Structure 1
C-alpha cells in the first residue's frame, strides 16, 4: 500500500492512513491507572537522582568524575523530559478519551509525539555509548583526555541530543512516517517492510543496537583494564575507587538498557526484514518494557554509590584503600588471571633478571676466625 498516494485520494491526513480513531482495542497495561503510576514513579525517581547528582557535582573535586556526572545528569534530564512529554499525552487520552481527528486534524500533535518517542528513546542509548567512550579514553588513554573540559563534555552531550533529534526529524522529510497507534493513546513511526518506512525502521533499530554493541565492547575493555590496575602489582600505589564506582554504575546502565531495549529493537528489525504482519500486542508490550529503562536508570546512581553502600552494608570494612580489597578471594582470582595474560612476560623477565643476578654474585668469603690465644 502506498501511503503517500492515499492522502491525495481521500484527503486523509497521513498519520491516520493506516489506523483511524476511534479504536476498539483493550489491553491490560493500556489504562489510565497503569500509565499514571508508571509516569509518577519515573518522574519522582529522576527528580531524586537529579538532586543527588547536583549535590555530588558540587562536592566532587575529581576531574574525570565531574565529566561522568555531566553525562549522567544529561541522561537523567532526558529520561525526565521523555516521561513528562509522552506521559502527558498518554494520560490525557486515557482520562478524556479525546478524538485525535478532532483535536489534531493536521497531525501536528501526532508528529510531535512520534518525534518525542524516537528522540527520547534513542537519547539514553546514544548517551550510554558516549559515556562508554569517555570512560574508555579516561581509563585506557588518560593522556589523550588531558584537554577535556567541562564545556567540551557539555558540547558532546548536546551533540548527542542533536543526533537523536536529527534521526527523529527524518519522517518529516519523507523518510518514514508517523502514525497513530493502537489503542489510540500514542504515535510512533510506521513499522512496515515497504519503501521508506522500512528504511527508517531499520535506521532506528540499527542505531539502537549499534549503541548497545559499542557500549558493551568498550565497557568490557575498560573493565578488564581497570581490573588489571586494581589487582596488579602496583595496586597499592594506584588506588582507583572512584574509577571502580563509575564503571559499576556504567555497567549497570548498559545492562538495564540492553535488557529493556533489545527486545523492541530486534522486534522492529525482524518485522520489517521478514515482511510479517505487525503484532500490535507485542509492540505495545515491548514498548512498555523499553519505557521501564527511564525509571530504572536514576536508581542506578541513587543506590549504587559508595556512600549509600556504606549505610546498606555497614559490617563491611570500608576503611580499606580500595574497593577491590573488600573481596579478597575475587581479588586473588583476578590477580592470577591477569598475571597469566599480561604479567607473564614481565614476571619472566623479572625472574630472569633475578636469576642472572644470583649467577653473577661473588662467592661469599668465609668469616675470618679470631686468633687463638
Structure 2
C-alpha cells in the first residue's frame, strides 16, 4: 500500500495521525517496571533451577517445568517490549523513518499479543495438570512422562504464536499506539479488527475461567484429603504447596488481566471510541502480572515459610489458607 510516497505493510496500515504525548507515559515508568520485572524473573529462574536439581516427586517435576516456562516467557516478554519502549523514550526515534514498512511495529505488536497470552494459557495448562494430578493421580502418572510437560509448554507457545500471527492471514492488523512508543493490534469494531480483538480478549478470559473452575475442584479435593479422616495416610504437603502457588498465580492473573480483556471486548462490541488513557491504565495493570508471578514461587515455598516460623504447622496452615483463598475468590 502506497501512501504519500511511502510503502506500508498490509499487516499494519497507516500510522495513526497523532503527535507524541510524553505526559501520558514516560521512560521512568517503563524503566522501573522493566527492570523490576527482569530482576524478579531472573531470581525466580535461579531458584527454580536449584529446586529442579533436588530430588522431588514426578508431579513436582511437572509443575517446575510449567513454572520454568512461565518465568522464561515473562522474562522474555519484559525484555523485548521494555527494550523497545525505553529506546523510544530515550532516543525519540521516528517510526516512519526507522520502520517505513512497519516490520518493526508488527514485530512489537506480535510480541505484545504472544507474551500477553502465554502466561494466561500456561496458567490454564498448569490448572489442567494439577486437576489430573490431584483427582486422577494414577491415570496421570502412567500416561504423562516429564517430556509431556515440556510438549505442553511448547504447544502453548505455538498456539499463542499462531494467534499473534493471525494478521498475516488478514484477520486484524497492528498499529502504532499513543503516545507513539509502542505497537498493538487495532482495537476497533470494524471488520477483521473486531474479530481479532475478540479472539484476543475471549481466549484470555477463557483461560482464566478454565483455571478458576479446575483449580476450584482441585482445592476442594485437597481440603477433603488433608482435613478428612485419612489425612495421616495421605499427607500431601508438596501438593498443597503447588496448589497454593497456582491459586495465587491465578488470582494475580485475574486481577491484572481481566480489566484489559474486558475493556477490549466492551470497546469493540459497543462500537465506542477507544479511550487511550484507559487502555494505558489497564495495560499497566497487566504488566504487573509479569512482575508479581515470579515472587509467588520465590516467597510462597515451604522452605521460606518455615524459616519465618520454624514451628509452623505447614499442613494445617496451608490447608486453611487454601480454603480461605478459595472463599475469597468465589466471592469475586
**SS in structure 2 opposite 1:88?**
helix
In the TM superposition, residue 144 of structure 1 has moved relative to its aligned partner by: 1.5
* 1:41-120 to 2 correspondences below 5 Å: 41-120=36-115
- Could you tell me which runs of 5 or more consecutive residues in structure 2 were left unpaired when the two chains were aligned: 325-332
Contact 1:190–1:197 (CA under 8 A) maintained in structure 2 = yes
How far apart are the structure 1 equivalents of 2:278 and 2:196? 20
* TM-score, normalisation: structure 1: 0.82
Alignment partner, residue 4 of structure 1: none
Q: Please say if 1:136 is aligned against 2:131.
A: yes
Alignment partner, residue 307 of structure 2: 311
How far apart are the structure 2 equivalents of 1:33 and 1:225? 46
How far apart are the structure 2 equivalents of 1:113 and 1:285? 19
**SS in structure 2 opposite 1:105?**
coil
Alignment partner, residue 174 of structure 1: 170
Match of 1:325 among 316, 319, 329: 316
Match of 2:289 among 265, 289, 293: 293
- Could you tell me which runs of 5 or more consecutive residues in structure 1 were left unpaired when the two chains were aligned: 1-6, 335-373
**SS in structure 2 opposite 1:210?**
helix
Instruction: Deviation per CA, 1:189-214: give whole Å up to 9, x if none.
Output: 00000000000000000000000000
* 1:1-373 to 2 correspondences below 5 Å: 7-8=1-2, 10=4, 13=8, 15=12, 17=14, 19-20=16-17, 23-28=19-24, 30-145=25-140, 146-314=142-310, 316-318=311-313, 323-326=314-317, 330=320
Instruction: Deviation per CA, 1:73-106: give whole Å up to 9, x if none.
Output: 0000000000000111000000000000000000
* TM-score, normalisation: structure 2: 0.92
How far apart are the structure 1 equivalents of 2:309 and 2:80? 38
**SS in structure 1 opposite 2:143?**
coil
Structure showing greater radius of gyration is 1
How far apart are the structure 2 equivalents of 1:326 and 1:201? 42
In the TM superposition, residue 324 of structure 1 has moved relative to its aligned partner by: 3.2
In the TM superposition, residue 34 of structure 1 has moved relative to its aligned partner by: 1.4
How far apart are the structure 2 equivalents of 1:274 and 1:113? 27
How far apart are the structure 2 equivalents of 1:113 and 1:132? 29
Structure with bigger RCO (C-alpha 8 Å, 6+ apart): 2
How far apart are the structure 2 equivalents of 1:284 and 1:107? 22
